[in-house]
Structure 1
Amino acid sequence: MTEPRLITLPTLDHGDVTLTCPPWCRGHDDHRPDTYRADILHKGPDHTLTFRAAEVLTAGLAQSPYATLDAPELGGRTVGVSVYPPGRTVTPVDLYGLAASLDSFADRIRDLADQLHTILAGGAR
């Protein structure tokens, strides 16, 4: 995290827009000058779940301070967490639900590993 900082970004519809980046924002190196003001996006670092070098799930803080709707699930003005897949911004309650689903899925994967181990050892099929 860094300190909040003022930045100026060129936009297609409002010219140069000066705004404050939140401390968790990783910067705007990927900002394009042909972007509309409503599409300005503060994005924090992604937390990525990988398996065998393949990206399975990513999540990170996101905010569109000039979004036309304040709908966090659409990446609105309120800070949310962007999750991909499914490619949407979620609320804290949604994140707890996702974590519970991942815990449950991990249990099912362990059960499959046990079943496979038994089968490969010549046990029940």
Structure 2
Amino acid sequence: MDHPMPSAGRTITLPTLDYGDVTLTCPQWCTGHADHRPDTYRADIHHRGPDVVLAFHGAEIIAAGLSQSPFATIVTPGLGGPTVGASVSPPDRSLTPVDLYSLAVALDSYADQLRDLAEQLHALLVGGAR
């Protein structure tokens, strides 16, 4: 599915609690800052891309999207920061490309387990076993 994205080089100015008005350039994938509040600290400003969502029966199971906090001072992996990452929820962590591939492998394995469970359930229902 294609998502409309703003053009690269779009400059915005956001009010912050600690630095006043902060002007920054949004990356091409950033969907905007409509949810920005003026009582936000500069370090908490973040760019977000559109989410890739797995939903089932109207419930969101997992969502992931590009994320970057250009003024963050956090250097703890998994908590986001000035380097672009993939924000995944759950588990509410920022993932590297390697981590994201590992998550995809885990989801593939889980899908296999669900198919096995579906076959077991089908056999129980068809066979009348309890």
Q: Say yes or no: TM over 0.5.
A: yes
- Once the two structures are overlaid, the 10-residue window that deviates more, 2-11 or 31-40, is 2-11
Aligned length: 125
- CA offsets, 1:61-120, max 9 Å, x none? 000000012445211000000000010101001000000000000001000111111110
Give the unaligned 5+ runs of structure 2.
Answer: none
Please give the TM-score of this superposition, normalised by the length of structure 2: 0.92
User: Does residue 54 in structure 1 map to residue 64 in structure 2?
Assistant: no
Which stretches in structure 1 are left out of the alignment for 5+ residues? none
The verdict on how the C-alpha distance between 1:105 and 1:56 changes in structure 2, with shifts beyond 3 A counting, is: same
What does residue 70 of structure 2 align with? 65
Percent identity for Structure 1 against Structure 2: 68
Q: Which residue of 1 aligns with 2:117?
A: 112
Moved more, 1-10 or 76-85: 1-10
Q: Give the TM-score normalised by structure 1.
A: 0.95
> Following superposition, which runs of at least 4 residues in structure 1 exceed 2 angstroms of deviation?
69-72
| Alignment root-mean-square deviation, CA | 1.2
- Change in CA separation of 1:21 and 1:70 when aligned onto 2, cut-off 3 Å: farther
Give a deviation string over 1:32-85, Cα, whole Å, max 9, x none: 000000000100011110111111000000000000124452110000000000
